[in-house]
Amino acid sequence: MTQLSLTKSLLSSFIIILFTGCGTTINLTHYTPLSIKKAKNIPSTKKMLNNFSPKVIVMNIDNNGIKIAKNAKAGATIAAKINTILASSKNVRIAKRVTESSYTQMLLKEIEAAQLSKELNTDVGQADNIITGQLSTASYNHSFTEGYYYVVKTKKGNIRYYQPPIMSYQACIVGNIKVFALPDLQEEASFEYDECSNRSTEVRSAYNVKSRDDSLVRKAALESADTVAYDLKNFFSKKGYIYEARVDGSSKIFKTTLGSSNGAKEGQEVIIYAVEDNTNILTSITNKEIVQIGTGIISNHITPTSSWIIIDQIQDGKIIHAGDYIKIHYKESFLSKAKKFMR
C-alpha cells in the first residue's frame, strides 16, 4: 500500500468514527415541559409564517478589465458556481431570466418589477436580491526548479534517483461578492475572496514555460466561489422561531419552526438570536438590535415544519425566550476538507 493510499484509508476510518459519535439523538419522553416567557420584541404571526425563499439573480462577476481574468472568463465562472451552490440549497430561488443585451437593461426591468410589487403588495415575478461583484486582481506566475539527484538507502544498498526539472505555476484571484436588495439597490452584504491554485509539471529546461493557462485561472475562480459560498448560504439562511422548551436535568431542548422543508437536518449547527432594545444614553433613542445569544445543534426530531434543538452554549446573562430565533450556520464540513486533502 502506498503512503497516499494508507493516508486515505486512515482518514476514511477517522471520518467513520467521527460521524458515528455525534450526540444528536434525544428521547423526548425523558424531558419535561419547561415554561418560557415570550420575547419583548416578538415578531408578528405573519412574519413568522412568511419564511419565504427570496428570488435571486446572480449576475456575472466583473473581470474589471483584467486580461488574465477576461481570457479565462473568471467572472462568469465564479457566477456560475455561486448560481449552482445557491440553487442546490432551499434558502433561495434562482430567478429565471431571458438573457438581455446588457445588464443595465435587465437591472432596470428588475427595479421596475420590484417597485410595482411594493406598490401592489403582491408578487409580480420580481427578484428580491441581486448578487454581483468584481475582481480586483488576477495573476499568473511560474517558477523553475532545477533537476537533481538524490539517494535512497535500502537493504540492498544505496539507490540513486534523478528528479527532472519542474516548472510550477500559480494563478491567484482577489475580489468581492456583494448582495443588493431591490428595488432600492441597498447593499446588504459584502464578502471577499483571495484564492490561489497551483500546478507543477516536469520540463526539460527553464525555457519550457506555459505562458497561459486558462484552466488554472478558472480553478482559482472556482475556489474563490467556494470561499464565499458558506457566507452566502449563511446570509440567506432561513429563520426558525423558538416556541416550546423541555428540560432533563441540566439539559435543555427547544422546539423551533425550522423544519426539513426549510433545509433543517440532523446535526446542523445553529446560532440563536434575540432582538433586543438598545438605547443611546446621549440621544435617548432606542433601536432594535439583533444579538447572538447562543448556539445549538439540530437533534434527530425533525418534521417538515419543526425541529428540536439541543443547546450547546448560552452567553452569560442571556435567557432564551419564545420568539427568539435560530439560523443554520453553514460551514465547510470535515468531509469536504478531507476530500480536498485527498485530491
Over residues 37-96, the pLDDT tens digits come to 999 988 888 778 777 788 888 888 899 999 999 999 999 999 999 988 888 877 888 875
Co-location of 265 and 135 in the same domain: no
| Angle formed at CA 295 by CA 289 and CA 297, multiple of 5 degrees | 135
Residue 343, in any domain of the structure: no
Q: What is the pTM of this model?
A: 0.76
* β-strand partners of 55: 93
Greater model confidence, 22 or 226? 226
Greater model confidence, 57 or 343? 57
**pLDDT score at 232:** 92
Co-location of 302 and 282 in the same domain: yes
Q: Which residues contact 282 (CB under 8 A, 6 or more apart)?
A: none
**pLDDT score at 33:** 94
| Domain end position, chosen among 236, 258, 287 | 236
Co-location of 23 and 107 in the same domain: no
Over pLDDT 70: what percentage of the chain? 83
Among 136-140, 181-185, 334-338, name the most confident range.
Answer: 136-140
* CA 91 – CA 52 distance, rounded (Å): 8
Range of the domain at 135: 55-236
At 183 the three-state DSSP class reads coil
Tell me whether strands 269-279 and 148-154 are parallel, antiparallel or unpaired.
Answer: unpaired
Average confidence score pLDDT of the chain:
85
| Domain end position, chosen among 204, 236, 268 | 236
**pLDDT score at 182:** 83
* CA 143 – CA 147 distance, rounded (Å): 13
* Total number of domains constituting the chain: 2
Co-location of 94 and 230 in the same domain: yes
Q: List, for residues 283-342, the tens digit of each pLDDT value.
A: 889 888 899 999 999 999 999 999 999 999 999 989 999 999 999 998 876 555 555 544
